């Protein structure tokens, strides 16, 4: 039992009590990752994909001094309409202050993992994790998502790390931290908008049941931390590397010119890439999130069966 200020939606309460599979979802992707109203459409669709796959969605956010585990549709809409500068982008470092001050906070991958674990949820679906930013050798900008994967036992399903990052360095850090990075159904790591990255995957699994079994094995071994499942974007939605890389380079150059730093880097780049691709990057982003939600629901089902 936990003393944390958790506020469960009725649907999630019932699911956890009856052993129905539950999939956690983050909220930074809603407030800082996509513009309104596409963010709300995405958030609703991702919840229905999870329900269609016989699991219950638990979108996580901080409001009114409580961690909400599962949001009503009204709350989801309010959150989607909250401008990025009015919602804190929460990671491990900011969670307690946000709760104490009664502010609204959107959870990143790191904070969502912490909250999911407190709520007893073992699987979480997102778009792409944060990682090592380009130029990190000067800026030291490395997402707290990586450390979180090393210490909190939640299986995170993502389409890899976002391709705006330094992907080779991101995978190196995860290896150093002892995080299993499991490519789903292919030998190469995916790169968010693209199925391929040119980087060989350290591990590969081909079924949800194997992934659930690997999480259970980690628990038996007493290994702390989670696992990252890198699920390639569906073929129909992908933007291949030769098309997306020049766009990413341009957005990165602009971020540097405008001295965008720290937590603003990722939202700035996603917004610029959206503009430069006439919205195609957002369509792909939504498609990959839905694809991850489906796999996460399958993994959650396997985990509840194994209990
Ligand atoms: N996935 C997306 N879009 C996003 C994110 C994930 O498709 O915006 C968010 C997640 O919350 C992740 C955060 O934790 O981006 C990483 O931000 P940063 O690079 O600033 O650590």
Q: What ipTM was predicted for this assembly?
A: 0.93
pLDDT of residue 255: 95
pLDDT at 74 > cutoff 80:
yes
162 is catalytic: yes
When pLDDT is averaged across residues 98-124 and rounded to a whole number, the result is 98
Cβ distance 91 to 144 under 8 Å?
A: yes
- Choosing from 28, 190, 228 the residue with most ligand 1 atoms within 8 A of its CB, the one to mutate for a pocket test is 28
Please report where in the chains the tokens 């291949």 appear, as a residue.
240
Residue 292 has, within 13 A of its CA and on its CB side, a CA count of 35
Share of the chain above pLDDT 70, in %: 99
Reported as a single tens digit per residue, the pLDDT across 272-306 is 999 999 999 999 999 999 999 999 999 999 999 86
Computed over every residue of the chain, the mean pLDDT equals 97
The conformation of residue 290, written as its DSSP 8-state character, comes to H
pLDDT at 307 > cutoff 70:
no
267 Cα nearest atom in ligand 1: 8
pTM of the complete model: 0.97
What are the φ and ψ backbone dihedral angles of 155, each rounded to 5 degrees? Answer: -85, 120
Beta bridge partners of 252: none
**CATH superfamily membership of 6-306:** Indigoidine synthase domain (3.40.1790.10)
Reported as a single tens digit per residue, the pLDDT across 190-232 is 999 999 999 999 999 999 999 999 999 999 999 999 999 999 9
Cα 161 to Cα 146: distance, rounded to the nearest angstrom: 10
Listed residue (122, 77, 113) closest to 216, CA to CA: 122
Reported as a single tens digit per residue, the pLDDT across 256-273 is 999 998 889 999 999 999
pLDDT at 1 > cutoff 90:
no
Binding-site residues from annotation: 89, 109, 141, 143-145
pLDDT at 166 > cutoff 80:
yes
Cα 169 to Cα 175: distance, rounded to the nearest angstrom: 10
* Residue 279: CB atoms within 10 Å: 12
Instruction: Give, using CA atoms, the residue closest to atom 19 of ligand 1.
Output: 130
Task: State the catalytic residue, choosing from 162, 263, 298, 302.
Answer: 162
- Choosing from 93, 131, 139, 145 the residue with most ligand 1 atoms within 8 A of its CB, the one to mutate for a pocket test is 145
CA of 130 to the centre of ligand 1 (A): 5
Cα 98 to Cα 95: distance, rounded to the nearest angstrom: 5
- Domain ranges in the chain are 6-306
pLDDT of residue 290: 98
Share of the chain above pLDDT 90, in %: 97
């Amino acid at each position: 039992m936990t003393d944390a200020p958790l506020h469960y939606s009725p649907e999630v309460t019932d699911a956890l009590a009856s052993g129905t599979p539950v999939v956690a979802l983050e909220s930074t992707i809603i407030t800082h990752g996509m513009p309104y109203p596409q963010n709300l459409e995405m958030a609703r669709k991702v919840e229905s994909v999870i329900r269609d796959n016989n699991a219950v969605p638990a979108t996580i956010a901080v409001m009114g001094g409580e961690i909400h585990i599962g949001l009503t549709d009204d709350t989801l809409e309010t959150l989607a309409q909250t401008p990025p500068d009015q919602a804190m982008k929460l990671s491990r470092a900011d969670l307690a202050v946000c709760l104490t001050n009664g502010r609204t906070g959107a959870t990143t991958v790191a904070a969502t993992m912490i909250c999911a674990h407190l709520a007893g949820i073992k699987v979480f679906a997102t778009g792409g994790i944060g990682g090592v930013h380009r130029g990190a050798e000067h800026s030291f900008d490395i997402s707290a998502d990586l450390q979180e994967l090393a210490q909190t036992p939640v299986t995170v399903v993502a389409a890899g790390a976002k391709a705006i990052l330094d992907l080779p360095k991101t995978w190196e850090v995860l290896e150093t931290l002892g995080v299993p990075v499991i490519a789903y159904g292919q030998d190469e790591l995916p790169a968010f908008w693209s199925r391929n990255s040119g980087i060989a995957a350290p591990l590969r699994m081909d079924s949800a049941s194997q992934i659930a079994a690997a999480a259970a094995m980690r628990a038996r071994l007493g290994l702390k931390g989670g696992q990252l499942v890198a699920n390639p974007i569906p073929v129909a939605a992908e933007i291949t590397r030769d098309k997306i890389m020049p766009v990413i380079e341009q957005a990165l150059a602009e971020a540097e010119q405008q001295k965008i730093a720290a937590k603003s880097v990722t939202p700035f780049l996603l917004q610029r890439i959206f503009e430069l691709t006439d919205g195609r990057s957002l369509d792909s982003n939504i498609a990959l999130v839905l694809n991850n939600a489906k796999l996460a629901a399958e993994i959650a089902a396997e985990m509840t069966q194994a209990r």
